[in-house]
Amino acid sequence: MQNALPDTDTMYKALLSKDASFEGIFFVGVKSTGIFCRPTCTARKPKKENVEFFPNTHEALCQGYRPCKICNPLFPKGDFPTWLKPLMLEVAKNPDKRFRDSDLKARGIKPNRVRRWFKKHHSMTFQAYLRTMRIGTAFGRIKYGDTVLETAYDTGYESISGFVDTFKKTTGFLPNKSPNQQLVYINRILTPLGPMLAGATESGICLLEFVDRRMLETQLNRLRRYLKAELVPGSNQHIDELNTQLIEYFEGKRKDFSVSLVLTGTAFQKKVWQILQTIPYGHTRSYREQAHLIGAPLAVRAVAKANGDNKIAIIIPCHRVIGSNGKLTGYGGGLWRKKYLLDLEVRGVPVQTKPHDLINESQE
């Protein structure tokens, strides 16, 4: 069954403005060139009469369109480009390994190209990314019994002072304080609706937000404040399990999530979020119904605000709350994403997977 699309005028306006909130919602075919693109493509925009819209890449390919070499629509937005993937797989397998410029050149990769990509997508250099990853690993080791000395040398540091200095700059505390501290590991998870930022402590998932959400920075700051923890790039068993469960959800194979959660908020917010989790898959409730269920029938606006402050999208299903008149109302990830999620749950529509065998273009 075809996924519902926004109206043509809305999609064309989003195309002209390169609106990132429509990533994953539609793809555009340009009749005059035979190319199809994602909404945020930076190529010159075609006239309205020269475009047609598709809900997924599969339908665009079936209509004879070729993927754009500028925006690479066959790749999820935020995915590692083809030329970088082998290096990142190596980093994942050996998080303590140091990669110098000479190591990159030996692998046929230009250091400046890697540096530019990481600055653009992570606001840090590749070397800064590696250092932060190593510190995250070191924190876990020291927290569970390894000495500062052996951890420093095992993670590639040649001096204790250099290790301690980098550790404190990254985490905000000295290595020997690790047993009484915690970090939030942050990693990207790719979905058909665009990349999401996942965060997890040792106890469970505390963050799942679309990376283009305007309140993302606010949510990250709130996490730091509530948990009294620093955020570092990395992963743990909870993020790995979340990734697996999200894949199953978007394929229409999972209706309930079992990943452990860590709720950070006021007592009222937590009460609202717990009630949200009782809305069955494929069903909706109004804000007024939610207010009644928490025993505060006059607190409709407060319930709506707590809904908007939810830091764990999809898993805590704030997308299942609609207006009393049945209309879709505010959603941090964008109303079109909300509609997509509800359509997926109500109709059981599996998302088309991208045909990897057709991918032969490199990404910058």
Q: Annotated active-site positions, please?
A: 318
* 271 close to 295: Cβ distance less than 8 angstroms: no
pLDDT, one tens digit per residue, over 177-213 is 888 778 888 888 888 888 889 999 989 999 999 887 8
pLDDT at residue number 254? 93
CA 135 to each of CA 165, 223, 232, 314: distance values in angstroms, whole numbers, following the listed order: 11, 19, 8, 30
120 with 154, same domain: the answer is yes
Same domain, 193 and 203: yes
pLDDT at 12: 94
Between residues 3 and 230, the one the model is more confident about: 230
* Least reliable range by pLDDT among 42-51, 160-169, 264-273, 302-311: 160-169
Residues 6+ apart with CB under 8 A from 22: 6, 11, 14, 39, 40, 334, 336
Residue 51: per-residue pLDDT: 95
Say yes or no: 153 and 298 in one domain. no
* Rounded Cα gap, residues 207 and 111, in angstroms: 32
Question: What's the confidence (pLDDT) of residue 349?
Answer: 52
The verdict on 168 and 302 lying in the same domain is: no
Which CATH number goes with the domain that contains 46?
3.40.10.10
Same domain, 139 and 190: no
226 burial via Cβ count (<10 Å: 0-12, 13-18, 19+) = middle
The whole-number pLDDT of residue 123 equals 67
Under 8 Å between Cβ of 38 and 5: no
For residue 116, give every residue at least 6 positions away whose Cβ sits within 8 Å of its Cβ, in sequence order, or none: none
Q: Please, are residues 202 and 136 in contact by the beta-carbon 8 Å criterion?
A: no
Taking all residues of the chain, what is their mean pLDDT, rounded to a whole number? 84
Question: pLDDT digit string (tens) for 49-107?
Answer: 999 999 877 778 778 788 888 888 876 666 677 788 888 888 877 777 788 899 999 99
Same domain flag for 333 and 196: yes
The 10s digit of each residue's pLDDT in 314-350 is: 999 999 998 888 888 878 888 888 888 998 998 765 4
pLDDT at 339: 87
Burial of 307 (0-12, 13-18, 19+ CB in 10 A): buried
What end-to-end distance do the CA atoms of the chain give, in Å? 34
Examine residue 2 and state whether it is found in any structural domain, yes or no.
no
Tell me the mean pLDDT in the region 136-157: 81
| Together in a domain, 151 and 212 | no
Residues 218, 256 within the same domain: yes
Residue 356 has pLDDT above 50, yes or no: no
How many structural domains are present in the chain?
A: 3
Give the end of a domain, one of 161, 181, 201: 181
In one-letter notation, the amino acid at residue 362 is S
Confidence of residue 281 (pLDDT cuts 50, 70, 90): very high
Contact (Cβ atoms closer than 8 angstroms) between residue 175 and residue 145: no
Q: Which domain holds residue 232?
A: 182-350
The predicted model scores a pTM of: 0.66
Task: Indicate if 237 and 289 belong to the same structural domain.
Answer: yes
Q: pLDDT at position 325, please?
A: 83
Q: 226-276, pLDDT tens digit by residue? A: 998 888 887 889 999 999 999 999 989 999 999 999 999 999 999 999 999
| Identity at 91, one-letter amino acid code | V
Please indicate, yes or no, whether residues 174 and 209 belong to a single structural domain of this protein. Answer: no
